[in-house]
Amino acid sequence: MKQTAKIYIAGHRGMVGSGIERKLRREGYNNIVVRTSSDLDLRNQQAVNDFFKIEKPDYVILAAAKVGGIYANNAFRAEFIYDNLMIEANIIHAAYLTKVTKLLFLGSSCIYPKMAPQPLKEEYLLSGYLEPSNQPYAIAKIAGIEMCNSYRSQYGCNFISAMPTNLYGTNDNYHPENSHVLPALIRRIVLAKKNNEPFVTVWGTGTPRREFLHVDDLSDACYFLLQNYNERSPINIGSGIDISIKELAVLISVEAGYHGELVFDNSKPDGTPRKLMNISKIKNMGWIHKIDLQYGIKQTISEFRSLNSY
């Protein structure tokens, strides 16, 4: 990938897109094209086609998506499937029409069946039932993978798919209702520390296990794949290490200096019992994560506090 190549990052203001842009600029790539959602509605096919015809990017990173935690996935099921299907369909098709050199589509670990064997291998895709709470989002992401594969098979497009594990870090979403578990816990626990609250409520039993990866590690992996990966099969990106939600809440409490009680609300859904990625494929290619979870959480808490003057 030449440093003069024109690279379009869809979703550059989100955590993933902004992380990838930071990585590319550090590596000397400055011919980067971006558009805000107010400038370009990625759900609008004509607008997307016009944009691609004018800009003619060489590379496309499809990081734009409607995302959220368990509550948002359940509450906005129609929006999650519609918005994500439209975004990926429009961009992937426009990339084909304008002969883009390479496209990287970013999926999610939630594409794998709820009860799939652990750790999750790429070949487990479509081998069982999905977790009901985020099924619309997962189905949309699976459709994106199949689009990349179909355009590769029929037209010879070099469209690849990467499946990140749960992400956190710089520019994360801390919305009280629509955020994922790690930023949601950071927000609640840091606020409880600030306000001297005696306890923090955590959704579920605390027993589900999750794997987490700092967004800077994901960005590094995406750059690595743009340079080195050209296969049909999706490829997992993760740390290969998981932790229970209870252990995560305790770790965040320690790093935030919070000494109150953690109360687990068993009436709230747990989601998938465990989600750990098998990362042997990318590891065998020579990539491994660098940011330890404890260090990453400490850094993220500091960023959250500085952004909110805590």
Structure token digits, residue 265: 């609300």
Integer Cα distance of 310 and 297 in angstroms: 16
- Rounded to the nearest 5 degrees, what angle is found at the Cα of 25, between the Cα atoms of 20 and 30? 115
Q: Which domains does the chain have, with CATH numbers?
A: 7-168+212-237 (3.40.50.720), 181-209+242-278+292-308 (3.90.25.10)
User: Binding site for substrate, residues?
Assistant: 188, 203, 210, 270
Tell me the C-alpha to C-alpha distance, in Å, between residue 93 and each of 100, 133, 170, 234, 250. 10, 29, 31, 18, 45
The pLDDT assigned to 269 comes to 83
| Mean pLDDT split into 10-residue runs, the chain, 310 residues | 96 97 98 97 98 98 89 89 98 98 95 93 96 93 98 98 96 86 95 97 94 98 98 97 97 98 93 90 98 98 91
The pLDDT assigned to 179 comes to 82
User: Binding site, residues?
Assistant: 11-17, 106-109, 141, 164-167, 180, 188, 203, 210, 270
Q: Which residues are 265's β-sheet partners?
A: 203
Backbone angles phi, psi at 19, to 5 degrees: -65, -40
Percentages of the chain per state (helix, strand, coil), in multiples of 5: 45, 15, 40
User: Binding site for NADP(+), residues?
Assistant: 11-17, 106-109, 141, 164-167, 180
The pLDDT assigned to 229 comes to 98
Integer Cα distance of 14 and 171 in angstroms: 7
Alpha-carbon torsion angle 291, 297, 303, 307, nearest 10: 140
The pLDDT assigned to 270 comes to 86
| Cβ atoms within 10 Å, residue 211 | 24
Strand runs labelled E in 59-114: 59-62, 102-106
Integer Cα distance of 90 and 68 in angstroms: 22
The pLDDT assigned to 310 comes to 74
Q: Among 137, 151, 168, 258, which one carries the catalytic annotation? A: 137
Active site residue 29: no
Count of residues making up the chain: 310
| Cβ atoms within 10 Å, residue 265 | 11
